[in-house]
Structure formats: C-alpha cells, structure tokens
Chains A and B, each alone.
Chain A
Amino acid sequence: MNEKQTKGVVIKVTDHGESDKIVTFYCPELGRLTGIAKGAKRSKKRFVNKLELFSLLNIVFATNRYSSLVRVDRAELLQSHPAIPHHFQSYAGAMLICELLLNWSRENDGDQRLFRLLLWSLEQLDNQQSAAGIIIIFYSRMLGISGYKPQFGGCLGCGKLSPDVAPFSFRPSRSGIICRRCSPEKRIINPVAINTAKLMRLVAELPLEKVSRLQFSAASQAEALALLRVYGNFLLQREISSWSFFTTAN
C-alpha cells in the first residue's frame, strides 16, 4: 500500500455494506478517484460530516496495485456548501454537475481548469445564483475543456450569423449550428436563436469572473439547456438521470 494525499470534491457517495462508504472525488491532478472509506457510516471522528456531497476535502488515501479503488484513510474538510441542499433548484443543479463530471471525467486524468470550474459552480449554487445559468456555464465550458466545444460563431456551412439566414438548427453530429439556407432539411431541428448563439459564444469565451454577469432570457435559457442536453447525450450515447430532475426543479 502506498499512501498519498490530494484535494478533491465529493461527487458521489454510496453506502457499502453495514458501515462502509464508496466515495468518488474529482481531484485536480488525479481526475476521477473512487475510494472505499471503511467504517465511515459509524465514524465519529475520522469521517463525520466530511464525506458529504459537494464538499472540498483534503484526503489521505492508500493505493492498491490490483485495483483502481483506493482506501480512504483520513479526510479534512476544506470547504463545504451547506446552503445547496436547502434550495431545491441549487441541489438539482449541483447533482447534475456531479453526474456530468462522473460521466465526462476519467481516472488519472485531472484538469486544473475543470477543478476550478467545479468549485466555482458549486460556490455560485451555494450563493443561490440561478441554477439554470450555472448549468449552462458549467456544461459549455466543460465541453470546451474536454475538446468538444460546440461552435456558435456562425453557420457551419456559410459562416454567417445574421437574421437573414435565421433560424438556425443545432447539429450534434457536427458540433455546431446550421442556418436555414444551408440546411438540407426544411424542418428546424434543435432551434437556436441568434441571441442564444451569441450568448453561448460568450459563455465559452469570457473569463469566469465575468461570465456570471451574463443575463439569459427565459427563451435563451430554455434553448441553451435543451441543446446542451441533446449534444451531451449524443456524445455520451446515454441519458443523464439528473437532467429530468433538474428540468422538473427549474
């Protein structure tokens, strides 16, 4: 056994047997890390109040040569987000972020930018900022970091982003938008208004400290969430369970 230490945000917790917990973290260097915390359910010292969803911890763990499941020995709470569970929309948003990370991250493949984005998003949700807006920002930027940034700068065919070629369709298979003129089909699939396309471009490009000032209209917000859901599901080839919960909550 080799003892190591890292920072990590708890993104999933499941009970295991009578008193253990299986905890998944997102760590800046190690990416997704899953460990077993022995006796965590009964622990009154080592783990009490620490292995909770959305908490930022400093963890001490032991690796195993034969399995990717590490043994979590100690945890120190660095930052919690106690307001998130008390606000239904924030909770739904935070859970969606965690499930997206579970599906989009890999073991031994950490990313400092993604870790900062995760912490920033959880802080915003803890301060009860609009959960829908935070999800749009998180998911768009995470797709960018992962190398799947959707293109909203203009039509993939003619490059235009002007009212005379509107409305636009979002094409998940081509990771971008296509105008009415360039589209081979008459029917508009996954419609995107010009304002939504411009906003999505800003969401992906602005620095984090400025991006939260962006204001989404109800229509743009609904369009952006719908296209991110369609695009993500297309790339993952599966539905994310928390999306429907999030849609109900918002």
Chain B
Amino acid sequence: MNVVPPALELLINDLSKLPGIGKKTATRLALYLLRRPAIEARNLAGDIYDLHDSIKLCGNCFTFSETDPCPLCADPRRDPTLICVVEEPGDMMAVEKTGAFKGRYHILHGVLSPMDGIGPAEIKIDALLSRIDRQQIKEILIATSSTVPGEATAAYLIQRLQEKKIKITRLACGIPMGMDIKYADDLTLSRAIESRENTG
C-alpha cells in the first residue's frame, strides 16, 4: 500500500534530482513545505517558475543576469581592457567578494573534461577569443582552479591566447594566509617557491 500521497511523492522525486539532495533530505524538505503556510509554497513555486524567464546569460561575459549586458559589464567604472576568466558563476562571485579585481569577467561554464565529453567546443573558449578580437583587451587573468582539469584548461587557454598580442596572467598559487609553512604540502610549497615575488 502506498502511504505517501502522489502529489507529495512527485515533489520528493523532483527535489531528490537536485545536487546533494537524496531521498531522505527530499522527504524532509517536502514535509517542511507541507507544514508551512500554503502561500510560502506558492511563492517558492512562482520563483522557480520565473527563473528561466527572468534570468539569462549575459551576451558578453556569460554570467547569469536579468539584463544583457549584466550590471558588471555595463559598469563604466570597471576596466574594460582587463578580463578575469573563471570556470563558473560561483567563482566569479568569490573573486568579486575580494574587491581586489576591478576588471570584467568571462565565464567558461566548465573545464576540459574528456570523460564527460567536454572539449574546447563545449565551453566558452571561442567566445572569449572573439571577444578579445572585438574589444580592446590588454590583459587576460586566468583564474581557473588549481585542480588537474582547471590547470589543463588554463594551459589550453594559454596555448590558444598566445597568438593574440595581449598580456596573459595566471592566479598565483602558494601558501594560504596565516599558514605555517611547516604544514604546507610539498607541491604547494614548490609552486610557491617557483612563483616567488621580487620584493627588493
């Protein structure tokens, strides 16, 4: 006998498709929504319903935005000649939170991952190259993660960008702030030594 009403079961199934949410968490969330006033569930449903209609990709940097160009690309105070290339919109938010970067962004929406069938054509690399041709870009800061696929994507980008007459920089990799170097792993420490700064 099925003890779960069909509508609730449908919601549990849909919620469990979300990343990081299993059947148990989905059930807990569905029951929570059921216990709350109906208006809250309607508002949530309305927000989800409007999501794809109101948010699009910015035609310039490919971030999620309600406007095209996005507020960052439209901001005249940002340096239009400097582009920071990141993997995902979340990475852009992390860089933006530092307040240290005053240029614009380009979101690749992924990294090179052959096992998942993601090659150069599947991420926004060609769009970046044509953007460099169209706009007067002077520097590209590659800010992909220092994981193997992130490094491979950066290396591929550097190879493709070499033909353009622009400055190419990569996020520095080394010891985190506040860390005792005795506890740093060999690879990070050796990368930190390789990319040491001249302070004299």
Let me know if B114 and A96 touch, CB within 8 A.
yes
Decide if A245 is an interface residue (CB 8 Å cutoff).
yes
Decide if A105 is an interface residue (CB 8 Å cutoff).
no
Query: Can you pick out 17 interface pairs between chain A and chain B where the beta carbons lie within 8 Å of each other?
Result: A12-B115, A16-B20, A18-B20, A48-B188, A49-B187, A77-B187, A80-B187, A84-B152, A85-B148, A85-B149, A85-B152, A85-B155, A87-B155, A91-B155, A92-B114, A95-B113, A241-B116
Q: Which of B112, B149, B183 contacts A45 (CB 8 A)?
A: B183
The residues of B that contact A82 with a CB separation of less than 8 Å are 187
Closest chain A CB from B145 CB (angstroms): 11
Decide if B198 is an interface residue (CB 8 Å cutoff).
no
Let me know if B155 and A77 touch, CB within 8 A.
no
The residues of A that contact B2 with a CB separation of less than 8 Å are none
The residues of A that contact B149 with a CB separation of less than 8 Å are 53, 85
Determine which residue in B19, B113, B176, B187 has the highest number of CB atoms from chain A within 10 A of its CB, and name it. B187
Which B72-122 residues have C-beta < 8 A from chain A?
112-117, 119-120
Closest chain B CB from A83 CB (angstroms): 10
Let me know if A245 and B114 touch, CB within 8 A.
yes
Closest chain A CB from B84 CB (angstroms): 20
Decide if A112 is an interface residue (CB 8 Å cutoff).
no
Contact A84 B185, CB 8 Å, known A92-B114, A96-B114, A98-B115: no
Let me know if B20 and A91 touch, CB within 8 A.
no
Decide if B130 is an interface residue (CB 8 Å cutoff).
no
Let me know if B114 and A242 touch, CB within 8 A.
yes
- Pairs of residues from A and B, 7 with the lowest C-beta to C-beta distance, nearest first: A245-B114, A17-B20, A85-B151, A242-B114, A85-B152, A53-B148, A91-B152
Q: In the complex, what distance in Å separates the CA atom of A85 from the CA atom of B149?
A: 7
Let me know if B155 and A248 touch, CB within 8 A.
no
Q: In the complex, what distance in Å separates the CA atom of A44 from the CA atom of B113?
A: 25
Closest chain A CB from B95 CB (angstroms): 18
Decide if B43 is an interface residue (CB 8 Å cutoff).
no
Decide if B199 is an interface residue (CB 8 Å cutoff).
no
Let me know if A86 and B155 touch, CB within 8 A.
yes
Contact A48 B185, CB 8 Å, known A96-B114, A99-B114, A241-B116: yes
The residues of A that contact B19 with a CB separation of less than 8 Å are 17
Residues 42-77 of chain A, each 1 if its beta carbon lies under 8 Å from chain B, else 0: 001100111011100000000000000000000001
Residues 1-40 of chain A, each 1 if its beta carbon lies under 8 Å from chain B, else 0: 0000000000010001110000000000000000000000
Residues 27-60 of chain B, each 1 if its beta carbon lies under 8 Å from chain A, else 0: 0000000000000000000000000000000000
Chain A residue nearest in CB terms to B160: A88
Q: In the complex, what distance in Å separates the CA atom of A44 from the CA atom of B180?
A: 12
The residues of B that contact A250 with a CB separation of less than 8 Å are none
Let me know if A88 and B156 touch, CB within 8 A.
yes
Determine which residue in B112, B114, B147, B176 has the highest number of CB atoms from chain A within 10 A of its CB, and name it. B114
Q: In the complex, what distance in Å separates the CA atom of A98 from the CA atom of B149?
A: 13
Let me know if B155 and A52 touch, CB within 8 A.
no
Q: In the complex, what distance in Å separates the CA atom of A82 from the CA atom of B148?
A: 8
The residues of A that contact B114 with a CB separation of less than 8 Å are 92, 95-96, 99, 241-242, 245-246
